[in-house]
Amino acid sequence: MNTQITNAGKKLAALRKRIKKNCVVCDRVIIALKQAKYCSNRCRQRAKYQRLKSIKKESHFS
């Protein structure tokens, strides 16, 4: 019984692979899905904001 549950859990974990990586914004180590980039929603928002800001800056200079 117990081993069956463990095996099911292992299968599930393999399906959604989580890896150790760094948040691209704050560089914090996170355990997240392979495609994830940020540790939190806040960092996602910040990345979005910084991108907009840099675009603005570029257009201001030219």
Q: Which stretch binds Zn ion (CB under 5 A): 3-11, 14-22, 34-42, 54-62?
A: 34-42
Question: CA-to-CA distance for 28 and 43, rounded, in angstroms?
Answer: 10
Instruction: List the interface residues with Zn ion, window 40-59 (CB under 5 A).
Output: 43
Q: Which stretch binds Zn ion (CB under 5 A): 5-13, 19-27, 50-58?
A: 19-27
Q: Does 26 engage in binding with Zn ion (CB under 5 A)? A: yes
DSSP string computed for 13-33: HHHS-EEEEE-TTT--EEEEE
In this structure, the number of other CB atoms found within 10 A of the CB of residue 10 comes to 10
Q: Which is nearer to Zn ion, 9 or 46 (CB)?
A: 46
